[in-house]
Amino acid sequence: MIKEFCAENSSGIKEAIDAGISRIECCDRLDVGGTTPTMDVQQTVYQYAHAHSVEVVTMIRPRGGDFVYSDYEKEMMRSEARQAVELGADGIVFGALTRDHQVDWAFVDELIDIAGESQTVFHMAFDSLSKQDQLGTIKELIDRQVTRLLTRGAESGSAIDNADWINQLIEVSDGRLEILVGGGITHENLDKASDTIHANQFHGTRIVRY
């Protein structure tokens, strides 16, 4: 099982690695759902994690709130994505929607191109979509060879609450897109989650005890 630790800045990195995490999502401002961490934080996390053979993917998000971005915010995200890759991130985490509540594929494609050979992760902007649109989005992500999708299955409820739908998404992905399950997953309910959801990757700020 892959346990991805969602880190705010560099807090808890050492302890989480000692507790056996497999991968880190490096963020800032978890109180608003995660934003891009500073360059100094990124350098510190990459150096420490890589020295302990732990991968790091970095959130590219300029603010909390919705996932509809202005031209100025998109330019910030392009710059932050390039910086993260250049600094040594193993991948970037992103998502963007249009005003009519669809994936902003034109912009998403730009971020995929910037990532190059690095991992690409589409985040919980996915959970704002209708179920029908989620199914279509999975097919589009597969076509674009996106590495991974982070989802709780819906805008509300925990991943365990949404287990049946997540399992359908996993079935649709058919191993062609990694499904990383997040949303209320902790070391206390991880066994229940893994028994209920047919995934081998789980994500959370408390995914391990430390």
**pLDDT at 209 (0 to 100):** 93
Does 180 map to a domain?
Answer: yes
Please give the pLDDT value at position 53: 98
Burial label for 167, CB within 10 Å (0-12, 13-18, 19+), is: middle
Q: What is the pLDDT of residue 169?
A: 98
Question: What pLDDT does residue 115 have?
Answer: 98
Tracing tokens 């705010």 back to the chain, one arrives at 8
Residue 210 lies in a domain: no
Instruction: Using DSSP bridges, classify how beta strands 119-122 and 201-204 pair: parallel, antiparallel or unpaired.
Output: unpaired
Quote the tokens at residue 171.
């079935």
Q: Which amino acid is at 25?
A: E
- Give the residue numbers spanning the domain of 69: 2-204
- Report the domain count for the chain: 1
107 phi/psi in degrees, rounded to 5: -75, -40
Burial zone of 68 (CB within 10 Å; 0-12 exposed, 13-18 middle, 19+ buried) = middle
Q: What is the mean pLDDT of each run of 10 residues along the chain (210 residues)?
A: 96 96 97 96 98 98 97 98 98 97 97 98 96 97 98 95 98 97 97 97 96
- Which CATH number is 188's domain given? 3.20.20.380
How far apart CA 173 and CA 41 sit, in angstroms, is 34
Quick check: is 92 in a domain?
yes
Q: What is the per-residue pLDDT for 210?
A: 87
Q: Is position 195 within any domain?
A: yes
Contacts of 118 (CB under 8 A, 6+ apart): 85, 89, 90, 91, 92
